[in-house]
A and B are shown apart, each in its own frame.
Chain A
């Protein structure tokens, strides 16, 4: 994965925060993703296919997830429930959608998005298959911290 491919995903995360959440996300340094393992996180994943192959994951500590959903809906939800999962799924959809538009080439078929998946629970591991390079970027905001992880490759053209 070329490091510059992560930039559209970072910009798309900024856009999500500034428009729909009335907040500002501030990024940390890009690094190779570490094995993700957390007792108190909720993670949303979405696949990219067609002219590119990839996967985008957003992981939020429970407090960040609740703050984001409450900001989005004007609610005071205190426990992570289906509404929170649904909101997190939509957020990864928006981040991936914005980035794929920036990565798609004019005049060529756009990159396709899968439907998002959400993982939540008391403890889980995320292992990355051999051969796929994942980059991760930590973010902070006044709604809390979270992590963006991306693996992305443009498909090879057959001539």
Chain B
């Protein structure tokens, strides 16, 4: 099981990698913006992506659209401070599978990852 963590904050990437490890996912790549994420998904197959929204170069939501336009179907969880209902709906419309609002409790993110993977048949 391989995951891609996309966030411009190295600290938040570390926090998310810790959550993935508690969900028994230790093979993790990192990207620091949407553009890097799209490129990474062209190079490798991922079983799960955790995607921030506000990043330089390419926003997370635009990366989700690009990844889906490339025919990739892995679950993508948005992990973001963008908490408005309209933002959540925009992300789901763009192809995000689930949505986690920062700040979060560590246990919440682990259970959300497990729930999304179970739904996609990956756990």
Contact = CB atoms under 8 A, between A and B. Distances in A.
Interface string A102-115: 00101101100101
Interface string A50-91: 000000000000000000010011100000001100110110
B11 A115 contact: no
A24 B106 CA distance: 16
Contacts of B102: 20, 93-94, 97-98
Contacts of B2: none
A90 B82 contact: no
B82 A94 contact: no
- Report whether over half of chain A's contact residues are helix, strand or loop; otherwise say mixed: helix
A110 B81 CA distance: 12
Contacts, number: 66
A69 B11 CA distance: 9
Interface residues on chain A, size class: 20 to 34
Interface string B1-13: 0000000111110
Most buried by A among B11, B82, B86, B104: B11
Interface of B: 8-12, 14-15, 18, 54, 56, 80-87, 101-106
